[in-house]
A = this chain, B = another copy of it.
Amino acid sequence: MSDEREQGRLTHFDAAGRAAMVDVSAKPVTERVAVARGRVVMAPATLARIEEGTMGKGDVLGVARIAGIMAAKRTSELIPLCHPLMLSRVAVDLVPAPPDAVEIEATVKLAGQTGVEMEALTAVTVAALTVYDMCKAVDRGMRIEAVRLVRKSGGKSGTYEAP
């Protein structure tokens, strides 16, 4: 059972339905890891240009990696009810998936009282948005797809693996 699930209601609301940042002070400090993934789908010609760039010029994926890492650190500023956290590791990887996609994976680690799923998901989405931004002049039809949590460990709920 999830360590945040309580009596079947959404945990970010009190009994009267008021949003709040939930109290995590009674939770044990454990090592938390979360891995999230997503994908930017694009025209094959767009992917071809990105791949040329990674050969040494115009490194779209390198810029997007940095944007994703920096965004993970700012998750609590963006998501209203997320706790501020002192992340101990953030890595973001972007890999061309021919013929028409870039796959993105983010891994976030923390020794703390709350999970880091949102940080991993934020890293993936901001990296994806950065890919969009840098390629939008040649392809406005790109889509961000399949952003999801793939693995999570630590905390009372133990390990989660996406089916």
Which residues does A use to contact B, with CB under 8 Å? 2, 4-6, 8-14, 16-25, 31, 38, 49-50, 53, 55-60, 62-63, 65-67, 69-71, 73-74, 76-93, 109-113, 117-118, 121-122, 125-126, 128-130, 132-138, 140-149, 152, 160, 162-163
A148 and B144 contact, CB distance less than 8 A: yes
Residues of chain B within 8 A (CB-CB) of A66 are 19, 63, 66-67, 80
A80 and B63 contact, CB distance less than 8 A: yes
Which of A19, A110, A112, A145 has most B Cβ within 10 Å? A19
12 new A-B contacts, CB < 8 A, other than A10-B50, A21-B90, are A10-B49, A17-B58, A19-B59, A19-B134, A20-B92, A55-B56, A73-B84, A83-B88, A84-B86, A86-B112, A121-B132, A141-B163
Question: How distant is the Cα of A59 from the Cα of B13 in the complex, in angstroms?
Answer: 8
Question: How distant is the Cα of A6 from the Cα of B138 in the complex, in angstroms?
Answer: 9
Residues of chain B within 8 A (CB-CB) of A125 are 125-126, 128-129, 144, 147
Given contacts A69-B21, A80-B70, contact A57 B16 (CB under 8 A): yes
Given contacts A18-B65, A134-B12, A140-B152, contact A89 B25 (CB under 8 A): yes
What residue of chain B has the Cβ atom nearest to residue A24's Cβ?
Answer: B88
What residue of chain B has the Cβ atom nearest to residue A114's Cβ?
Answer: B88
